[in-house]
């Protein structure tokens, strides 16, 4: 029996999802580098945060974090509903995806408002190493949230144009994985930068 005559084995993971797994792995290493540099510099500082630097908005950011965390649960609900085929062509299931995107946008807008206030109070990337780390770590995360929102927007418009399509169903777990990473890394960053 020739090799070509053998039945094809089903693949466990798509190329797209595997590619996203590799991307998320590199992003984890990026944030691990930022976090380790932050911890090392914080441990050798006599006073942290340096004197004269404004207090970070811990309470507002904690409240804002709820939007981001809730978005992951809404996205999970959307994926379950869509993959089971219940109301997949209706606007009901797509509303969950739209809600995820709105929650992510709220998170970015509130963070932007925080940044404007902090800059007004004198916390800039040039004011101290504390400010530099804050804007680098939190800023890189904000960029990741924005990229995740672009991915979800792509999925949303694709599913509106091609409801119940197989390729649309394959896109959801790929882009959802990225969003789950963005949401999952945030509590770690919040604890290290805002609370420690």
Mean pLDDT over the full length of the chain: 88
Give the per-residue pLDDT at 87: 47
Give the per-residue pLDDT at 3: 47
- What the chain holds in terms of domains, given with CATH numbers, is 15-41+66-195 (1.20.120.80)
Q: What is the pLDDT of residues 52-101, one digit of tens each?
A: 888 899 999 999 999 999 999 999 999 888 877 654 455 678 899 999 99
State how far the Cα of 48 lies from the Cα of 196, in Å rounded to an integer: 9
C-alpha dist (Å) from residue 8 to 2, 5, 12, 15, 166 = 13, 9, 12, 16, 19
Q: What is the pLDDT of residues 132-153, one digit of tens each?
A: 999 999 999 999 999 999 999 9
pTM: predicted TM-score of the whole model, two decimal places:
0.87
First to last CA, the chain: 65
Neighbouring CB atoms inside 10 A of 149's CB total: 20
Whether 2 has a pLDDT exceeding 60, the answer reads no
Contact at 8 Å (CB) between 102 and 161?
no
Percent over 70 (pLDDT), the chain: 91
Give the per-residue pLDDT at 6: 47
């Amino acid at each position: 029996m020739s090799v070509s005559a053998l039945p094809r084995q089903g693949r466990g993971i798509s190329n797209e999802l595997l590619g996203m797994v590799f991307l998320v792995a590199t992003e984890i290493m990026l944030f691990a580098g930022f976090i380790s540099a932050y911890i090392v510099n914080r441990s050798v500082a006599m006073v942290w945060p340096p004197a004269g630097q404004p207090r970070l908005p811990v309470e507002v950011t904690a409240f804002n974090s709820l939007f981001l965390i809730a978005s992951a649960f809404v996205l999970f609900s959307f994926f379950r509903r869509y993959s089971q085929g219940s109301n997949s062509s209706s606007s009901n299931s797509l509303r969950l995806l739209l809600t995820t995107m709105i929650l992510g946008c709220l998170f970015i807008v509130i963070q932007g408002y925080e940044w404007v206030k902090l800059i007004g109070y004198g916390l800039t990337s040039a004011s101290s190493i504390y400010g530099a780390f804050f804007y680098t770590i939190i800023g890189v995360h904000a960029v990741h949230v924005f990229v995740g929102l672009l991915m979800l927007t792509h999925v949303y418009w694709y599913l509106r144009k091609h409801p119940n399509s197989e390729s649309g169903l394959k896109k959801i777990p790929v882009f959802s994985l990225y969003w789950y990473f963005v949401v999952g890394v945030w509590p770690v960053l919040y604890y290290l930068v805002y609370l420690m």
